[in-house]
Amino acid sequence: MRNEFLLKRFIDTCAVTKVFSGVRKILIAVSGGADSLALAQLMICSRQRFGLQLAMAHFNHCLRKTSADDANFVKNFAAERGVEFAGGQGDVKTFAAEHKLSIETAARTLRYEFLSDARQLLNCDAIATAHHADDQAETILMRLLRGSTSAGLSAMKARTFTDGGLILRPLLNFRKVELETFCRERNLSPCIDETNFTPDATRNKIRLKLLPTLETFNPALVETLCRFGQVAADEADFIDVQAEKIFPAVVEGNAIVRADFVKLHTAVQRVVIKKFLAQVTGTTKDFGFVHIEEIRRVLLDGLSGVELHKNLRADLKHGKLTIAKNFYGKG
């Protein structure tokens, strides 16, 4: 049967990618949709094979009238299968307004905060999400449209270490249609989130309008984008390793040595600057490609410096570049 074939492929894929390596207990993030229901059922069916203990978590974003029904559905789904459950909710609209975020970003922020807390509460080693190949393609395309660098176009990985814990994505090699078929054949009845079919948010527009249009030019577009993202990830990892090796020879204390920096390959230069910014400011979140290029030009051309943002300035003196507060800047 088709569903048994998918289960076998899931087990084989997880074994090859070693996505569950070193993990004892996993918290599965379940929205109630087809993707997360399929993930939960696949993991339940294969937990003995990988020696796993499982728990489920659901976060109610309180954005739809049926949100509470979805939360109860997932709670019952877990109970029927004898799996531990943690539920939470948050006022996404208020949080978005207070922090000047999009609804999508606010929802993701609150959801992952909850999942991180639930993981610790239930003593889990990792969080499993139902991101699949279609999500991967949408994300890569969205980042491409926003002008991301090659590193930014890197594919999501099966294992990612975050501040909130280890995130596992066992379904990255599976298409959404496969997961929907699996649910039907297993008599699972997913919750329907009608907001996914409204072309308002950027991701929805990409999913509902742009991807279908592009697939008329390349029917295998999702596979193509995923392959591109994997290549970009591999190349970004290689460059990062090279930059990590060379970093101590180029950076002295909190300064980049220009004479050593200019000898580096352009790609390595950019990563060195990014690592340097993380070291001296504590984050790279607020620095984009433009800022990195401005700093690179100062070093290559021997300029005196450049104003950045948040009252920061890059100064080049005596062959060394430092980052300092710009007391004369506008912020």
Q: What percent of the chain has pLDDT over 90?
A: 81
Q: What are 75-131's pLDDT values in tens digits?
A: 999 999 999 999 999 999 999 999 999 888 999 999 999 999 999 999 999 999 999
Q: Are strands 312-317 and 320-325 parallel, antiparallel or unpaired?
A: antiparallel
223-248 pLDDT, tens per residue?
999 999 999 999 999 999 999 999 99
pLDDT of residue 330: 45
The secondary structure element, H or E, covering residue 223 is: helix 221-250
3 pLDDT above the threshold of 60: no
> 331: pLDDT confidence band, cut at 50, 70 and 90?
very low
Indicate the pTM of the whole model. 0.87
pLDDT band at 192 (very low <50, low <70, confident <90, very high): confident
Cα(327)–Cα(90) distance, integer angstroms: 40
Closest by Cα among 208, 277, 274, 205 to 240? 274
Q: What is the arithmetic mean of pLDDT over 201-206? A: 87
pLDDT digits (tens, 9 = 90+) for 274-310: 999 999 988 887 788 899 999 999 999 999 999 988 7
Radius of gyration of the chain (CA): 23
- What does the pLDDT average to over 249-275? 96
Kind and range of the H or E run holding 268: helix 266-281
Of 296 and 203, the structure prediction assigns the larger pLDDT to: 296
Is residue 26 within a helix (H) or strand (E), and if so which, with residue range?
A: strand 25-29
Asked whether the predicted pLDDT for residue 147 surpasses 90, the reply is no
**pLDDT of the residue at 328:** 52
Count of H helices and E strands in the chain? 13, 11
Strand partners, 252: 255
Order of strands across the sheet with 25-29?
84-89, 53-60, 25-29, 126-128, 165-168, 159-162
